[in-house]
Homo-oligomer: A and B are copies of this chain.
Amino acid sequence: MPRPAARPGEDAAATRGRILDIAQRLIQDRGYNGFSYRDVAVEIGIRAPTIHHYFPAKSDLATALVERYAADVAALQAALARDEPRPWKRLAGYFAATRERMLAKRQLCLCGVLAMEANSLPDNVRNAVDRFFADNRAWVADQLRQAKAAREIDFSGAAEDAAAMIVSALQGGLLLSRAAKTPEPFDAAVKQVSRALGF
């Protein structure tokens, strides 16, 4: 009789959104193979099979998650490009956003986690993750070129290589910080990257 909430009329897409939010947090926390529909269900207050109504298979949930996540990051990058005229400041904003969004909650990048587990993931998910990193590298490389042209920063070699190094350092820094249970390794890596670029 005393069933808390979220039954019939509770809303339509609201439940779907909650499923995505909780699943994303759980994956960032424990990985794709480390969470179950049941885990998500108990947090919402529904039964596990109900989730199949929104996402028939677990891989459907993962696919939707990566798409939403990639769109969020792309929106952040677009906002930085719109609001911040100095390219080097856009890069700094990107670093800071990575730190805030991920490290404040002691979480890794969703796509970083899924890249690690790529070998046990359906192809469409794996391809979406690959695209995420390719897009990020391209965006970072673009800012690097603009900042260099504006003489705000300096680096030798191709912008694409520098971008690969930067994205790798961010992902790896998150990894080391998780193992160490402190933001120190991530912060040290980002500090050194910034210094190498000259800001």
Residues of A within 8 A of B (CB): 29-31, 33-34, 108, 111-113, 115-120, 126, 129-130, 133-134, 137, 155-158, 160-162, 164-165, 167-173, 175-176, 178-181, 185-186, 188-189, 191-193, 195-196
Contact = CB atoms under 8 A, between A and B. Distances in A.
Given A169-B165, A176-B133, A179-B129, A192 B120 contact: no
B119 A175 contact: no
Contact of A115 (B126, B134, B178): B178
A35 to B, nearest CB: 9
Would you list the 8 A-B pairs with minimal beta carbon distance, nearest first?
Answer: A168-B172, A172-B172, A171-B172, A164-B188, A165-B192, A115-B179, A168-B189, A33-B33
19 contacts: A34-B117, A34-B119, A115-B176, A115-B179, A133-B176, A137-B176, A158-B188, A160-B188, A164-B192, A165-B173, A165-B192, A165-B193, A168-B168, A168-B170, A168-B186, A168-B189, A170-B172, A171-B171, A196-B196
A130 B168 CA distance: 19
